[in-house]
Amino acid sequence: MPREPQPGWSSERFSQGYVADYKPFVFVDGEGVRCSLYVSGCLFACEGCFNEATWSFRYGSAYTDELEDRILADLAHESVQGLSLLGGEPFLNTGVCLRLVRRVRERFGRSKDVWCWSGFTLEELRGGSQDKRDLLAGLDVLVDGRFEIARRDLTLPFRGSTNQRVLSVPASLAAGSAVPWSPARETRRSA
């Protein structure tokens, strides 16, 4: 079983500001064409994790201003729908993810969407530290929860086990409870 999150699991304590990879113009990390940033470091230790190398907070290379500028330039392409944040654990790397999401919102407003995959659940993040709540508020879609190998289902879109959920963050925060993401809802919201 994955580890349960602990009160001391903070970005301030663990993040080294490292990223495992950056991939522009991908089709698999959410809806449409996306730019995907994979941050380094995760404490959940899910059995069967798709990328164990990223558990180390020192895996890969340091996040830089140059990389951030490149991501923003790539996002500006008309065909790109948005940014995807994956890990590792984005919410244990809020120093990286928050500054990037803030710049994306400054430059593109809501014309680009932001998806994020996290081992934390929506409820854990809503009750978490300010940086976690700030990053959550900057997202459009959260794929939440630990990967549970006993509940693995490779036919599920955007997630690996049946306990994980694909959630609309604005709708969930407005409702005060988890609201599933659906393409139709997002189209209505942005219309």
Pick the binder of ligand SF4 from 18, 115, 147, 181 (CB under 6 A).
147
Q: Does 60 bind ligand SF4 (CB under 6 A)?
A: no
Which CB, 39 or 169, lies closer to ligand SF4? 39
Ranges within 12-31 binding ligand SF4 (CB under 6 A): none
Please return the burial class of 158, using the count of CB atoms within 10 Å of its CB with bins 0-12, 13-18 and 19+: middle
Q: Does 42 bind ligand SF4 (CB under 6 A)?
A: yes
Cβ distance 97 to 137 under 8 Å? Answer: no
Q: Does 143 bind ligand SF4 (CB under 6 A)?
A: no
Q: Does 112 bind ligand SF4 (CB under 6 A)?
A: no
- Residue listed under structure tokens 């392409």: 77
Size of the site for ligand SF4 (CB under 6 A): 12
Sequence-distant (≥ 6) Cβ neighbours of residue 155 within 8 angstroms: none
Q: Return the range that interacts with ligand SF4 (CB under 6 A); candidates 16-24, 31-39, 42-50, 149-157.
A: 42-50
Q: Which two tokens stand for residue 52?
A: 């164990």
Q: Return the range that interacts with ligand SF4 (CB under 6 A); candidates 86-94, 101-109, 126-134, 181-189.
A: 86-94
Neighbours of 187 (CB within 10 A): 9
Which CB, 1 or 73, lies closer to ligand SF4? 1
Report the alpha-carbon distance of residue 96 to residue 162 in Å, rounded: 29
Q: How far is CA 63 from CA 86, 104, 187, in A?
A: 14, 16, 33
Q: Does 5 bind ligand SF4 (CB under 6 A)?
A: no
Q: Does 83 bind ligand SF4 (CB under 6 A)?
A: no
Strand partners, 35: 83
Q: Does 87 bind ligand SF4 (CB under 6 A)?
A: yes
Cβ distance 165 to 159 under 8 Å? Answer: yes
In the complex, the residues that contact ligand SF4 under the rule CB under 6 A are 2, 42, 44-46, 49, 87-89, 119, 146-147
